[in-house]
Amino acid sequence: MLGSMPVRVLDDRYRDRVLAILDADPVSNVFVSSRVHAVGLDPGRLGAQMWGYVRDGRLSSLCYSGANLIPIAADSEAVRAFAERARVQGRRCSSIVGQADAVTELWELLSPHWGNPRAVRAHQPVMSTSERSPIPPDPRVRRVRMDEFDIVYPACVSMFTEEVGVSPNTGDGGVLYRARVAELIRAGRSFARIENGRVLFKAEVGAATPYACQVQGVWVDPDLRGRGLSVIGMAALVNEALRTIAPTVSLYVNDYNTRARAAYRRVGFTEVDTFMSVLF
């Protein structure tokens, strides 16, 4: 049983209960679940607080409060409680992201206090697959080696800037972003097709649990787009991720990116949920 406060910061004593909520929806919750599986709930290790909403003495909903604000398994009552805590604390996140219904309501409550966002992406299909791709994979897509960091990093910056609208080198000069790119390479979760020192296709598995993983940063050299490199590249990544990382591969994509959505469907992905993102 938990105390009488409806929202409280959780610690490692609640790890099993938190993971039970997260892993009940392993695809939609893969990012937060991967963090908790890896480091637990101590805010110093997690890089965030995990807020828990208590109903009738039991933990029913969560909200990850760090660089991202992410409501999880949150109905209207829980969303209102999380919004009040976030409002009182003040904005510390660079985005609100998660299942569309909860994020929509959370943003409606916070927007009068947090000002204008840089972008609102109200409909982002979540897609997943648990089967090898029906498309023949690109045999030249492979895991990136650490000695190829300087080759791959500019492509990562280009992808991030296209997707988010600002360069990851802004602010700290790219220190944190470089560290994250290097971390994924060392973990064997950065994939690319590299020819003569040039990245033609690249993508990363940004989060992984025993149940699912999430692809991010899909990018094709602008001069080579429209030739199907993303389809065969993603087919290669999916097959390898299913073999060595997790039994389900997922991603989410902006609804207006019709070309990407069509490519992912060809690879074997189907839509399973809808996210929304508010970017600051």
| Rounded Cα gap, residues 178 and 163, in angstroms | 17
Domain boundary (86, 115, 144) is at 115
Closest C-alpha among 163, 157, 176 to residue 66: 176
- Same domain (yes/no): 103, 151: no
Q: Is 120 inside a domain boundary?
A: no
| Rounded Cα gap, residues 232 and 141, in angstroms | 9
Beta-strand (E) ranges in the chain?
7-9, 49-55, 58-65, 68-72, 95-99, 119-129, 142-143, 190-195, 198-208, 213-220, 249-252, 270-279
| Rounded Cα gap, residues 64 and 18, in angstroms | 11
Beta-strand (E) ranges in 3-133?
7-9, 49-55, 58-65, 68-72, 95-99, 119-129
- Same domain (yes/no): 139, 180: yes
Q: Low-confidence residues of the chain, pLDDT below 50?
A: 1-3
Domain boundary (53, 86, 115) is at 115
- Same domain (yes/no): 159, 100: no
What pLDDT, on the 0 to 100 scale, is given for residue 171?
Answer: 79
Range of the domain at 150: 129-273
What pLDDT, on the 0 to 100 scale, is given for residue 166?
Answer: 85
Domain boundary (81, 115, 149) is at 115
Joined together, the tokens standing for residue 42 give 């101590």
Q: Is 196 inside a domain boundary?
A: yes
Number of structural domains the chain divides into: 2
- Model confidence over 117-165: pLDDT tens digits? 999 999 999 999 999 999 999 999 999 999 999 999 999 999 999 888 8
| Rounded Cα gap, residues 34 and 208, in angstroms | 5
- Same domain (yes/no): 72, 199: no
Look over the chain and give the mean of its residue pLDDT values, rounded to a whole number: 95
